[in-house]
């Protein structure tokens, strides 16, 4: 868990929140991937194959990216 202290307030984002955000983001991207590849090829099997392969490596990359950004204080403000 990463903590940020600003103006005597602690901001934390747990790994489970980052994970949930990554999962919901991937669902949206998988649907978009499928739609785009299907529109270009007209083949559902190609679209599903691309969608499955793409989902694995981009989910890991997004999770790492999200955790890295959580460690950066720039742009975070105290909640009112």
pLDDT in tens, 18-48: 889 878 988 898 999 999 999 999 999 999 9
Q: Which two tokens stand for residue 6?
A: 């600003």
List of residues 6+ apart from 51 with CB closer than 8 A: 30, 33, 34, 37
Whether 59 is in a domain gets the answer: yes
- Parent domain of 30: 13-68
Q: Which two tokens stand for residue 22?
A: 């990554």
Assessment of whether the complete model's pTM goes beyond 0.75: no
Whether 3 is in a domain gets the answer: no
For 2, list phi and psi in degrees, rounded to 5: -100, 135
How many domains does the chain contain in total? 1
End-to-end CA distance of the chain: 22
Whether 55 is in a domain gets the answer: yes
Whether 4 is in a domain gets the answer: no
Q: What is the mean pLDDT of the chain?
A: 84
Whether 1 is in a domain gets the answer: no
Q: pLDDT class for 77, splitting at 50, 70, 90? A: confident
């Amino acid at each position: 868990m990463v903590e940020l202290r600003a103006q005597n307030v602690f901001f934390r984002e747990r790994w489970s929140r980052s994970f949930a955000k990554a999962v919901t983001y991937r669902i949206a991207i998988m649907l978009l991937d499928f739609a785009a590849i299907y529109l270009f090829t007209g083949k559902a099997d190609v679209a599903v194959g691309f969608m499955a392969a793409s989902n694995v490596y981009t989910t890991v990359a997004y999770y790492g990216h999200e955790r890295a950004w959580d460690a950066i204080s720039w742009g975070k403000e105290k909640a009112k």
